[in-house]
Chains A and B, each alone.
Chain A
Amino acid sequence: MDNTQLLLALSTALFAIGLAGVVIRRNLLVMLMCMELMLNGVVLSLVTLSQQAASTTGAVLVFLVFVVAAAEIAIAVPIVLLLARRKRTLDMDAFTDLKG
């Protein structure tokens, strides 16, 4: 197994761990962290593949991903803050006002 395949496997594993975390964990902050983990897995695979193909476009996309991830967190954290202030907990299962 050469380096490229190893790195791709690693990035897929990071993505899968993140996805599992988003689905399984119920703590809001941990869920957000897992979302970031998914994005980081993607970044690793993008860097690996664009390095292999000697392309700069992949690197540009990596920067775009960073910017978007930062913007996403900038929106997510205030929402979590609002929710935590209201219910005094970070447990996703406590937020069940919407049902049906």
Chain B
Amino acid sequence: MNASTLLTAMLPEHLLLLGILLLIVLEIGARKPREFLWVTLVTVFAAAFAAARLYVSDYAAAPFPGQFSVDPAALLGKATLLGLTLPAVLIAGGEFRGPRFSILLLSSVYGACLMLSSDSFLTLFLGIELMSLPVYALVLLAMGRPESAEGALKYLILGGAGTASLLLGISFTFGSTGSFGLAAFGAALAGGDTMARAAVVLVLLAFYLKAAVVPFHAWAPDAYESASVPVTAYMATVIKSAVLLAAVRMFAGTEVPASMVVLLAGLPLLSMVWGNLTAMRQESFRRMIAYSSIAHAGYLFFAFLGPAQGRYEAVIFYVIAYGLMNLLAFVCLPTGEDATRDRLDNLKGLFGRNPYAAVLIAAAMLSLAGIPPFPGFVAKFLIFRNVIDAGYTGWAVAGLIGSYLGIYFYLRVIQYMFMSAGEEAAAATPSRAWAFAASLCCLLPVILLTIFPGWLLDRL
């Protein structure tokens, strides 16, 4: 381990840390709120650029052998997460100007990056906690709304229970394999004794909880609704993606043994069906997205049934397509009072008031539903193809049926925007520069991904 490896391999993390320190210094100097936002933006962009640059040059190193290592797969994951954070920061431009939001957000992203590079359960645990703890506080930041504390508390209690379950799983993994390395999980998965079984189940339950898979989803709708829009966007995309990518790293090259298939396919299937059915009767956009994200967590966990080498490709493509489309819908939401801006009724007649936003939200909805020309379809196709390749045709068919239950509520949003007359309550609000920049920031990659999905797939 020499200094230059340490510097290069952890460059995205170092940049984030630098940004956090700079923000704290600025906070002491009591600078103007706008500067905090610029520092955050530049930090996230620089870190994303560094990760992408290292990925392009196929960089791989292990600055802390056995604890922390980077390889192109991890770097691409980091670049994706950091890139998805950018629009969330941009839409925060109109709402949070203080240093609190920026510092908490950067710490959380730091944790997510740490998770994706972890080689041992120690680093993984630290990463998960570093990612989750600031988010509890971020949910609380929508202080103007009294119910935000309630959402934050529910998230924190269930998150805490998830952490404890992960730790007990780690402890049992150590007991049965004698190692804290991430590879021990694969060994425990293949091993047959009771302790290894219990370890795998406990670790999986913790991941289900963090990714909000039924029946461990209870926190998600409340936390998503009570947080303000940028934080919800961040939770629905970056947190979920980070958890899933870390799970891919943890499973590494292991095939799922037959005894675990029920756990790895049953709960996600339940999650798809339940998420999609419950989303139908939601009146709030954020709550609807929460249930839709519960369903999407189900599709993502289906990827683990497939053969090990196709798993990473399917998950990273899904995460990119899903994250971009979700963010696109969030950045185009009409502006207004935070508590009411996402009522679905507000979207009525949006096409008449703001055609640009309405068309983009419609595209996002169609892609999330998995309708063909959009990247969401390719992403779903990759996952289900993997499941069929592995020979679980029955599960794949059930999953496809479950996934297309969701079309109803995605199309309902479109119907509201295009076919219902608006109440003409708010005269067309001028689109703000921040939101516009954020929408461009999502739109360009989306267009590229829609036209050339093969370009990305060839590189994976």
Interface residues, chain A, with chain B CB atoms under 8 Å away: 8, 12, 15, 18-19, 22, 28, 31-32, 35, 38-39, 41-42, 45-46, 49-50, 53, 55, 57-58, 60-61, 64-65, 68, 71-72, 75-76, 79-80, 82-83, 86, 95, 97-98, 100
Contact = CB atoms under 8 A, between A and B. Distances in A.
A50 B129 CA distance: 22
A71 B174 contact: no
28 contacts: A18-B164, A32-B157, A35-B164, A38-B160, A38-B164, A39-B167, A46-B174, A53-B178, A55-B174, A58-B174, A61-B167, A64-B122, A64-B125, A65-B167, A75-B133, A75-B156, A76-B156, A76-B160, A79-B140, A79-B156, A82-B149, A83-B150, A86-B149, A95-B150, A95-B153, A98-B151, A100-B221, A100-B282
B434 to A, nearest CB: 28
Given A22-B161, A64-B126, A98 B149 contact: no
Interface in B404-420: none
Given A45-B171, A45-B172, A68-B129, A57 B157 contact: no
Contacts of B171: 42, 45-46, 49, 58
Contacts of B255: none
Contact of A98 (B125, B137, B161, B226): B226
Contacts of A83: 149-150, 153
Contacts, number: 116
A86 B145 CA distance: 12
Contacts of B174: 46, 49-50, 53, 55, 58
B147 A97 contact: yes
Interface in B217-236: 221-222, 225-226
B321 interface: no
Chain B facing A: main interface SS: helix
Interface in B92-142: 121-122, 125-126, 129, 133, 136-137, 140
A15 B282 contact: no
A35 B157 contact: yes
Chain A facing B: main interface SS: helix
B149 A79 contact: yes
Interface string B164-194: 1101101110110010100000000000000
A79 B221 CA distance: 18
Contact-size category for B = 35 or more
Contact of A76 (B122, B126, B153, B175): B153
Interface in B375-431: none
Given A39-B167, A42-B171, A98-B147, 20 more contacts: A22-B157, A38-B161, A38-B164, A41-B164, A53-B174, A57-B180, A61-B170, A64-B125, A65-B167, A68-B163, A72-B163, A75-B156, A79-B140, A79-B149, A79-B152, A80-B153, A95-B150, A97-B146, A98-B154, A100-B287
A49 B150 CA distance: 38
Given A61-B125, A64-B122, A100-B221, A72 B156 contact: yes
A1 B65 CA distance: 38
A76 B158 CA distance: 12
A31 B157 contact: yes
Contacts of A19: 161, 164
A8 to B, nearest CB: 8
Most chain A Cβ neighbours within 10 Å, of B140, B164, B178: B164
A11 B180 CA distance: 19
Nearest to A57: B180
